[in-house]
Structure 1
Amino acid sequence: MTVPDQAQELRIEETPIPGLLVVHLPVHEDARGWFKENWQREKMVALGLPDFAPVQNNVSFNASRGATRGIHTEPWDKFVSVANGRAFAAWVDMREGPTFGATHHVVLDAGTAVFVPRGVGNSYQTLTDGVAYTYLVNEHWRPGRSYPALDLGDPSAAIPWPIPLAEAEISEKDTTNPTLDDVTPMPPKKVLVTGGNGQLGRALQAAFPYADAVDLDELDLTDPAAVAAWPWHEYHLVLNAAAYTAVDAAETPEGRTACWAANATAPALLAKVADEHHLTLVHISSDYVFDGEQAGPEGHTETEPFSPLGVYGQAKAAGDLAVGTAQRHYVVRTSWVIGEGGNFVRTMRSLAEKGVSPTVVADQVGRLTFTGELVRGIRHLLETRAPYGTYHLTNGGEPTSWADVACAVFERSGRRADDVTPCTTEEYGAGKQLAPRPLTSTLDLAKIRATGFEPEPALEALDRYLA
């Protein structure tokens, strides 16, 4: 058996088809034969191969030289190599997008393997007798699923088969595949937005216009059976904006149950789904996981221990812990969210326009987070492939109190700042059944800034929002 040059190091080569990677494997040979590490996750991922979490290993054997199969486009990622012999391999990009129809080809031997991303058509022609292909896939085969195939002799692909197709052994099925002009490109996997009717959910739908958006009546994230029945294999990204946010009602017996179900049980179920289906899970959390007493000079850091004061914060902290168990996760912790719908800024604008002079707490300090900025930061984490983990994300600028925000809204509405009367949290809560709230909600933004994201100052965003 011919064995390739043994001097090469493990390396990964990009191709004209995005995501299609040729892997050059070191092969160790002596008089007895040869050995190679056909799949070595740690080394390969470090060199840029996706950590695609294979779940099945298949072997396909062709007895005779010239056996030709394809061009098949599967809805999963695969890692292909040969256990013996040599084969000509060719790929055609069958995915929606600007590279639809792009091609690439190599010879597979003991020292060459290929990572084939979902939606890229693959085909193989044996160059020797007795070729065994081995391939890892990251999704179990399911009966009844169809996906694009392409004519082996498609003129636009113009694959240079070493053995002419007229002389090759081809299955009857592969002789009836369509040409590229008649192929329906494979669409990408989808995005799911949970909590689609909330302020953030609506902003996420605007930023991900092709996403599916659901609320409780469509998908009950607290019901394990409903979650298990959802077609997760159709998705690659879940943006979890669903939450129980009635902070005061969470202190009641009924509210406590509902809050824990939405803010702890649901994220735990999503984390389990994310690992089972290789999804990226983005989960929105809150400054309420902290008590407001332990913040550093720039605010609470991502590594600060949890210290929630009330039921809402306790449930959100439990949700953070659950999501943190998922391999591909972003916990995005934020504060004082302002978007479309009822919120503090709109309430203050309404009071200003009606001539009301409100009393507003002045000892709770933090930063506003406009949903547009929150979405921009989430997109940044995803598009830059920032390391998975927890990130604090709010608008920037100097921290303010709720009273400061109210004064700013009043001034921009033609009223005087001193039409707002400041008070303490204790004074505001006298005689009311209110949940405890952290006095310091400021979140340290150093970690997300280190990824290249610079938050817009909150007061600049406020000007645009009110305009």
Structure 2
Amino acid sequence: MAEIAFGKKLGIVETGIPGLVVFDLPVHGDSRGWFKENWQREKMTALGLDDFGPVQNNISFNDAVGTTRGIHAEPWDKWVSVATGRIFGAWVDLREGPTFGAVFTAEIDPSKAIFVPRGVGNSYQTLEPDTAYAYLVNDHWSPEASYSFLNLADETAAIAWPIDLADVEISEKDLAHPRLADVTPISAKKILVVGSGGQLGRALRDEFGAADHIEWTTRAEFDLGDSELRTARRWRDYDAIVNAGAYTAVDLAETAEGRRDAWAANASGPARLASIAAEYGVTLVHVSSDYVFDGTSTRAYLEDNVLCPLGVYGQSKAAGDLAVATAPRHYILRTSWVIGDGKNFVRTMASLAERGIDPNVVDDQRGRLTFASEIARAIAHLLRTRAPYGTYNVSGSGEPRTWAELAGDIFALTGADRARVSGVSTETYFAGATGPVAPRPLNSVLDLSKLEATGFAPRDAGEQLKEYLAS
């Protein structure tokens, strides 16, 4: 029987298979036996392990030397360790991608553990009698889940089993598993885009392309008000939910019907998604608004400034932000003055310039345009780089402008005289309104330094405006 390595420091060893990591575990022994912390969330995550949220602890006890099990790949993560005895473990990457078929082997005794990510095939052979093999998993077995298996004797993997497979205890089922060429790979986790029919949803389609793991849904196909939302998908198969839908009719939100619709779309719906994300370890991406602030600051708004919305729309968006923030894995992207491919301020001003109409435009509100393509690019960046979770301001960069200055820019870029635009105050502009008018924040400038620190370079809003008009 091999000696247990006492006194090692807690540490990790990379394996060459992405996400598959071996941990050295401190084992403390004396005349009575030994003790170890087999799983310690705070310490393991501090070393960089994903907080994978185990929900079940399994133990496989093996009487004899040479007992052989696997190779099984499931759509969940595992924390594998040995309580007593010793194993030769073999792990094969059975996920879609460039490392499909990669192999790692190691001996595991009580002083080691290994984190096995979703889709990596797991197998072992006992090297000592009375070996207790333990594993934590972050999902329950389900007949609806997708599993993959590889034959233990696969010639491509060419695992050097210490005991010949002809001489070991092994199940007929394991002997019948396919060779690598016939294995169905475990597909990548999905990204669900909610509200994909809107301007941001269309921009996300352009950003993500036709990737197989992206699932696009419209409001009609995926109703956030559905009481069965929690069981609408096998959520453990999803890496992220991107909430691209919102109620944005800021003035109509001041009516009785609009208030109800705004709160349903901007607060209640995101709260349901946050609950799902928290329960199943899914990353939730949500788009917020400058309207969560009152606009009285003399500086650009930071992500952690106190929320102080003025109207119903802003209040509903602020409530949605607070709900989404309860999900441990969340990105809230706070934006301003969004321009997409539908009806918007830029198109309206360009049309007025072309038709010879000289508009009065508000000149006491300051901010930067945020093109929907820029929001989509920021979402893709945060998900791809696994940036720290939290709230990020997203807008175009460059010098802030008033709406009147932007209108003048649009006139000039379309060949019209910018002097045709007259600036007026917000109060004057809405003085003759016959319907409800939502209060507007006068300062909508967002500080972009937190997003820039993740490696994202916001594009200049003025340059994007030129490109938008040219297209």
* TM-score category, normalised to shorter length: over 0.9
Q: Which range moved further: 210-219 or 51-60?
A: 210-219
Q: Aligned equivalents of 1:393 and 1:146: distance in 2?
A: 37
1:223-251 deviation digits (Å, cap 9, x = unpaired): 23234423323211011111101111111
1:277 alignment partner, one of 274, 280, 293:
280
- When structure 1 is superposed on structure 2, of 84-93 and 427-436 the one drifting more is 427-436
Q: State the shift of 1:360 in Å.
A: 1.0
Q: What is the 5 A alignment of 1:26-105? A: 26-105=26-105
In 1: Cα distance, 2:200 partner to 2:322 partner:
22
Per-residue CA shift, 1:96-151, capped at 9, x if unaligned? 11111000010010111100000111111111111111111111111354411001
In structure 2, what residue type is equivalent to 1:40? Q
Question: How big is the shift at 1:215?
Answer: 1.8
Q: Which residue of 1 aligns with 2:369?
A: 368
Opposite residue 289 of structure 1, the aligned amino acid is: V
Of the three residues 254, 258, 263, the one matched with 1:260 is 263
CA distance in 1 between counterparts of 2:7 and 2:298 reads: 53
Q: 1:187 to 1:144 in 2, by over 3 A?
A: closer
Equivalent residue for 2:188?
Answer: 188
Residue of 236, 249, 254 corresponding to 2:239: 236
1:162 matched to which residue of 2? 162
In the TM superposition, what is the alpha-carbon distance from 1:378 to its structure 2 partner? Answer: 2.0
Q: Does the CA-based 8 Å contact 1:69-1:174 persist in structure 2?
A: yes
Matched AA of 1:334:
T
Which residue is equivalent to 1:143?
Answer: 143
Deviation at 1:363? Answer: 0.8
Contact 2:90 2:106 in 1 (8 A): yes
Give, as a single letter, the amino acid of the residue that structure 2 aligns with 1:5: A
> In 1, Cα distance between the equivalents of 2:441 and 2:76?
46
- Paired residues of 2:75 and 2:145 also in contact (CA < 8 A): no
Amino acid at match of 2:290: D
1:387 aligns with 2:407: no
**Match in the other structure for 2:421:** 420
Aligned partners of 1:230 and 1:68: how far apart in 2? 35
> Is the 2:349–2:411 contact (alpha carbons within 8 Å) kept by the matching residues of 1?
yes
Q: Are the counterparts in 1 of residues 75 and 237 from structure 2 also a CA contact under 8 Å?
A: no
CA distance in structure 2 between the aligned counterparts of 1:305 and 1:408, rounded to whole angstroms: 33
Where 2:346 maps in the other structure, the secondary structure is helix
- The superposition leaves residues 27-48 of structure 1 with CA deviations (integer Å, 9 ceiling, x where unpaired) of 1111111111100111111111
Could you tell me how far 1:450 is from its partner in structure 2? Answer: 2.3
TM-fit CA distance, 1:466: 1.5
Write the distance in 1 (CA, Å) between the matches of 2:382 and 2:225.
27
- Which residues in structure 2 correspond to 1:279-358 (within 5 Å)? 279-293=282-296, 295-297=297-299, 299-358=300-359
1:246 to 235, 246, 249: 249
Residue type matched to 2:107 in 1?
V
- Relative to the length of structure 2, the TM-score reads 0.96
- How far the C-alpha of 1:304 sits from its partner, in A, is 1.3
1:445 paired residue among 424, 431, 448: 448
8 Å CA contact retained: 2:7, 2:28: no
2:408 maps to amino acid:
C
Instruction: Give yes or no for contact 1:74–1:147 (8 Å, CA) kept in 2.
Output: yes
What's the offset of the Cα at 1:296? Answer: 4.4
Query: Which secondary structure does the structure 2 equivalent of 1:170 belong to?
Result: coil
C-alpha deviations, 1:433-464, integer Å up to 9, x for none?
31111111111112222222221111011111
> Structure 2: how far apart are the matches of 1:305 and 1:4?
54
The equivalent residue for 2:133 is 133
Give the TM-score taking structure 1 as reference length.
Answer: 0.97
State the Cα RMSD in Å.
Answer: 1.3
The equivalent residue for 2:172 is 172
Distance 1:88 1:296, change over 3 A: farther
CA–CA separation in structure 1 for the residues paired with 2:413 and 2:42: 56
8 Å Cα contact 1:193/1:205 also seen in 2: no
Structure 1 distance, partners of 2:176, 2:376, is 46
**Equivalent-residue separation in structure 2 for 1:226 and 1:279 (angstroms):** 14
2:192–2:242 Cα contact (<8 Å) kept: yes
AA partner of residue 167 (structure 1): D
Whether contact under 8 Å (1:338, 1:369) holds in the other structure is yes
